Amino acid sequence: VRITRISERSVRLRAGVANAVVNFSQHTVSLVAVHTDALVDGRPVVGLAFDSIGRFAQGGILRDRMIPRVLGADPDDLVDADGWLSPAKLLARAMTDEKPGGHGDRAAAAAALELAAWDAVAKAREEPAYRTIARHFGRTAASPDVPVYAAGGYYYPGADDQELRRELRSYAEHGYRAFKIKIGGAALATDLRRIETAIEAAGDGAALSVDANGRLDRDAALAYAAALAPYGLRWFEEPGDPLDFALNQDVIGAFAGPVATGENLFSHADVRNLLRHGGLRPRRDILQMDAGLSYGITEYARMIDEVEAQGFDWAWMYPHGGHLLNLHIVAALGLGGCEAYPGVFQPFGGFATEELARPGFARPGESPGFGLEDKAALRPEIAELLAATPDPSTSRAGRR
């Protein structure tokens, strides 16, 4: 198998929502296509993926550094012994001459490439990506059904508690049994009122998680921890700065319920430090690293190795990012569950259909690869990417 071309475009999110830190109206995502000369039914296999949601499109890093490195490689150096494209080797090549440390934007850029390679391999094997991934890592998913929760409850412009109640009830009507809302973007008293409204709609505090998106300082995080304790929430997510491991430890010391974090750590080296220094409790606290922001599944597997080495269990891993890439990854590896964004962060948020397989569970489709083509909102974006005139610098032929 040879890569013939790699194309990329920046797609703006259709989202008028904000969390405690970020307004998403200007957010973009990189949609990437890895074109190969493998043929299925006479047509070349094209691997598709994107760099999750929340850390922007990475066209500069892809075009200036990573795509030229991959296209400049000897094609034989990018395949496994069995002749399939190797996502790990593609990643290593994309990272040539990159220094250690500094795991930020480039981790998202590399992830889009690495995940597109998985999509290409699954399509060449004519199977859904979750089967390809599970086989590669020696997992046999008994059932591809994935526990999902509806992440919403953003600070919509002008939103009031009635709207929050309506939003959560709508998720419940669509089959969701667990929910998450944003906190930390308003005064504590206002947030507690929102939480009580949400618990009323959810039916039980144990069905509701709250997410501060890393906004709170130490005093505020401890004040929230004390105020949240009586509600018996499902989890308290990212109380403080994602790199302030001592703060995380202090919050855990003051909060008996589960604390969730990790979505803003993009390497196994950062996750190792969180596990060493963050006070997390095995089989209680939740880990939310997202392969699509973290160099892809190759590095995510290194994170899992670290999780296991430090006595934690991957059934407590719930990746950030409610979309088809993570639905397949969670199904393949038997992780705890997957975030879902019913109706928001389009065209990337959500799965192929808004319908759940059964209450509380989503199921990846059986189309080859991640099935991005099955998602109606993504189809025109994919068509535009594939129809674009190739930039000579992004094709092997053009670089000769």
SS3 144: coil
> With CB under 8 A as the contact rule, which of the stretches 20-28, 191-199, 342-350, 378-386 interacts with a copy of itself?
20-28
How far apart CA 255 and CA 247 sit, in angstroms, is: 12
Query: Of 16, 83, 102, 157, which lies in the binding site for a copy of itself, with binding defined by CB under 8 A?
Result: 102
Question: Could you say whether residue 107 binds a copy of itself (CB under 8 A)?
Answer: yes
Q: Among residues 249 and 346, whose Cβ is nearest to a copy of itself? A: 249
98 binds a copy of itself (CB under 8 A): yes
User: In the bound complex, what is the minimum distance in angstroms from residue 64's beta carbon to a copy of itself?
Assistant: 7
Residues 202-221 vs a copy of itself: string with x where CB under 8 A? Answer: -----------xxx------
Residue closer to a copy of itself (CB basis): 8 or 119: 8
Q: Counting contacts by CB under 8 A, is residue 105 touching a copy of itself?
A: yes
SS3 (DSSP) at 45: strand
Q: Is 182 in the site for a copy of itself (CB under 8 A)?
A: no
Q: With contact defined as beta carbons under 8 Å apart, do 128 and 327 qualify?
A: no
Comparing CB distances to a copy of itself, the nearer of 58 and 395 is: 58
Q: What is the DSSP string of 89-132?
A: HHHHHHTTTPPSS--SHHHHHHHHHHHHHHHHHHHHTTSBHHHH
| Tokens found for residue 352 | 């192929």
Should residue 58 be labelled a site residue for a copy of itself when binding is judged by CB under 8 A? yes
Site string for a copy of itself, 266-285 (x = CB under 8 A): xx-xx-xx--xx--------
List the one residue from 16, 44, 60, 392 that touches a copy of itself (CB under 8 A): 60
Helix (H) or strand (E) holding 286: strand 286-287
Residues 251 and 255: their CA atoms lie apart, in Å, by 6
Active-site residue (options: 320, 323, 328, 375): 320
State whether residue 327 is helix, strand or coil. helix
Q: Binding of a copy of itself at residue 26 (CB under 8 A)? A: yes
- Coil/strand/helix, residue 399: helix
Minimal distance, residue 1 CB to a copy of itself, in Å: 26
Q: Roughly what angle, to the nearest 10 degrees, separates helices 105-124 and 87-94? A: 150
Which of 5, 9, 55, 328 contacts a copy of itself by CB under 8 A?
A: 55
Structure tokens belonging to residue 124: 């060449």
Give the shortest CB-300-to-a copy of itself separation in angstroms.
Answer: 16
- 298-319 burial, b if ≥16 CB within 10 A, otherwise e? bbbbbbbebbeeeebeeebbbb
Q: Does 42 bind a copy of itself (CB under 8 A)?
A: no
Residue 92 contacts a copy of itself per CB under 8 A: no
- Residues 152 and 181: beta-carbon distance below 8 Å: yes
> Which of the residues 110 through 169 are near a copy of itself (CB under 8 A)?
none
Tokens read off for 194: 């929102």
Q: Which residues bind a copy of itself (CB under 8 A)?
A: 10, 21-24, 26-28, 54-61, 63-65, 97-107, 213-215, 241-246, 264-267, 269-270, 272-273, 276-277, 293
Report the catalytic residues.
182, 320
